[in-house]
Amino acid sequence: MQGWGTSVQRRRTGTIAVVSALGMTAVLGGCGLTGGPDEVTLKLVAADYGDSKDNSSQKYWDELAKSYEAGHPGVHVDVTVHSWNDVDREVRDMVEAGDAPDMAQIGAYSDYADKGLLYRADDVLSIPVQANFVSQLAGAGQVNGTQYGLPFAASTRVLFYNKTLFDKAGVTPPTSWDDLAKAAEALDDEGVKYPYALPLGPEEAQAETMQWMLSGGGGYTDDLGTYSVDSPQNATTFTWLRDELVGKGLTGPVAPGELDRADAFAAFANGDVGMLNGHPSLMKMAGDKGVKYGMVTTPGADGESKSTLGVSDWMTAFKSNGHQEEIGDFLDYVYSDENVLDFSREYNLLPVTTSASQAMSGSEEDKKLKPFLDELLLSELYPVDKTSWASVSAAVKKQIGQAVAPGGNPEDVLARIQTTASQASSAE
């Protein structure tokens, strides 16, 4: 491959401050690694973003690996893709068995960084590539000021609503919780199966939970970064959900604690749901089924929410196999504008680099993603820099549905999750 980068640009000592690199495009020069007389096989485990065999992420990675190998005859890239339900566990099992992959594209990184298992970003990435990450995402990839998590795919959330159902019920898109409740009741009166879908099931309850916490002025942590799951704001939020939506029979298709995101999205795409929080991939799902949808900023307690949820998945580079140079060279290729944009467009996700984000913002073909792009720099992400986050997230997935169940006690549920958070945090 013409003009590929060498490791000369990489810095192996010290910590660099991540900058937003506005206007910066990664410029890479030099020639590719050949691996010397011995061929090197890089093992990558990745998550599947597709919803069928036709658009499985395995297909994306196989094509990217083939393209990379064509210019690097001494390096082979072996990619295994797992569903999101399995990928984090698969990688954890590999690491515990002493068989860590060279790279893993997964949902968290901090526990591996805490154990000293990961290369730092500046161990493997060229300076232009590392500096090109969107600052909001790069900052979330740091532990104690050092970046270990490399943002790979990003999304923000907005409220999707079914235009046809809203017109039939004579309501307009909500900007506040009161608006949302009134719209849900009007939809219910018109016979809409599920006025609001509230996925607090085990697949991604931590996302819906944080979206609602933020809209109520709360969150998982306070301004100092200390867990505040049981804050008065959060208790008010889940009491409102219990009383104004779930308790009035305005949610579905199943009880919130049993509803996964994928099923909620599918119900919306089938035209059965009036509104729900969604990320960019829902646009294609709904559009393919002919659903006329609109998108608005997440409603808040007293008007549009002042904060929205941002989510990033992570690429990690493990030290155990010692392929630092080859990993770095391959990841520089992964994060080229062409490849970042190809992946983002294939799966309706947001680019994680500034230059690719700018390219998408100015592109006519990507105009539907602009509402999500605009929110990215204002979004708040999970506290993924905390090694305790995995335990907290698991507790949320297991328990938060109980907070909104009829007769549920939000204060008690949030207090139990807070206890888990405090205990896990004290062990960090």
pLDDT class of 363 with cuts at 50, 70, 90:
confident
Does the pLDDT of residue 21 top 90, yes or no? Answer: no
Mean pLDDT for the chain overall: 89
Which residues are registered as beta bridge partners of 159?
277, 296
How would residue 365 be classed by pLDDT, with cut points 50, 70 and 90?
confident
- What pLDDT sits at residue 387? 86
| pLDDT value for 378 | 78
Residue 133: per-residue pLDDT: 95
Per-residue pLDDT of 328-362, as tens digits, reads 999 999 999 999 999 999 998 999 999 999 999 88
Q: Tell me the CA distances in angstroms from 301 to 192, 306, 375, one per residue in order.
A: 24, 10, 19
* CA gap 275, 158 in Å, rounded: 10
In the predicted structure, residue 227 carries a pLDDT above the cut 70:
yes
- Domain locations in the chain? 7-155+311-380, 158-297+388-426
Residue % of the chain over a pLDDT of 90: 72
**Is it true that 7-155+311-380 and 158-297+388-426 share their CATH fold?**
yes
Q: What percent of the chain has pLDDT over 70?
A: 91
The residue with greater pLDDT, 8 or 165, is 165
Sheet containing 194-196, strands listed edge to edge, beginning at the edge strand earlier in sequence: 194-196, 273-278, 158-162, 293-296
Domain covering 158-297+388-426 assigned CATH 3.40.50.10800 in the classification: no
* 34 confidence band (pLDDT: 50, 70, 90): very low
Instruction: Match 């309850």 to its residue by tokens.
Output: 205
pLDDT reported for residue 123: 96
Residue-level pLDDT at 158: 92
pLDDT at 23: 36
Virtual CA dihedral for 287, 252, 208, 280, nearest 10 degrees?
Answer: 0
Residues 144-178 as b or e (16 or more Cβ within 10 Å = b): eeebbbbbbbbbbbbbbbbeebbeebebebbbbbe
Q: How many other C-beta atoms are found inside a 10 Å radius of the C-beta of residue 290?
A: 9
Q: What is the pLDDT of residue 11?
A: 37
Q: CATH for 7-155+311-380?
A: 3.40.190.10
Sign of CA dihedral 88, 90, 93, 94: negative
Q: How far is CA 226 from CA 53, 208, 220, 418, in A?
A: 42, 20, 8, 11
The predicted structure's pLDDT at residue 236 = 98
| 37 CB-near residues (< 8 Å, 6+ apart) | none
3-state secondary structure the chain: CCCCCCHHHCCCCCCCCCCCCCCCCCCCCCCCCCCCCCCEEEEEEEECCCCCHHHCHHHHHHHHHHHHHHCCCCEEEEEEEECCCCHHHHHHHHHHCCCCCCEEEECCCHHHHHCCCECCHHHHCCHHHHHCECHHHHHHCEECCEECCEEEEEEECEEEEEHHHHHHHCCCCCCEHHHHHHHHHHHHHCCCCEEECCCCCCCCHHHHHHHHHHHCCCCCECCCCCECCCCHHHHHHHHHHHHHHHCCCCECCCCHHHCCHHHHHHHHHCCCEEEEEECCHHHHHHHHCCCCEEEECCEECCEECCCEEEEEEEEEEECCCCCHHHHHHHHHHHCCHHHHHHHHHHHCCECCEHHHHHHHHCCHHHHHHHHHHHHHCCEECCCCCCCCHHHHHHHHHHHHHHHHCCCCCHHHHHHHHHHHHHHHHHCC
Per-residue pLDDT of 369-406, as tens digits, reads 888 888 887 789 999 888 899 889 999 999 999 999 99
Angstrom distance (rounded) from CA 180 to CA 267: 19
Q: What is the pLDDT of residues 57-104, one digit of tens each?
A: 999 999 999 999 999 989 999 999 998 878 999 999 999 999 999 999
| pLDDT per position as a tens digit, 160-192 | 999 999 999 999 999 999 999 999 999 999 999
Query: What pLDDT digit, counting tens, does each position of 217-226 carry?
Result: 999 999 888 9
pLDDT at 19: 34
Q: How confident is the model at residue 32 (pLDDT cuts 50, 70, 90)?
A: very low
What is the residue type of 218?
Answer: G
pLDDT of residue 20: 34
pLDDT of residue 22: 34
Buried b (16+ CB within 10 A) or exposed e, 93-105: ebbeeeebbbbbb
163: CB partners within 8 A, 6+ apart: 292, 293, 294
The 10s digit of each residue's pLDDT in 270-293 is: 999 999 999 888 998 999 999 999
Longest C-alpha distance within the chain, in Å?
73
- Tell me the C-alpha distance between 16 and 419, whole Å: 35
Please give the backbone phi and psi of residue 38, each rounded to the nearest 5 degrees, phi first.
-105, 130
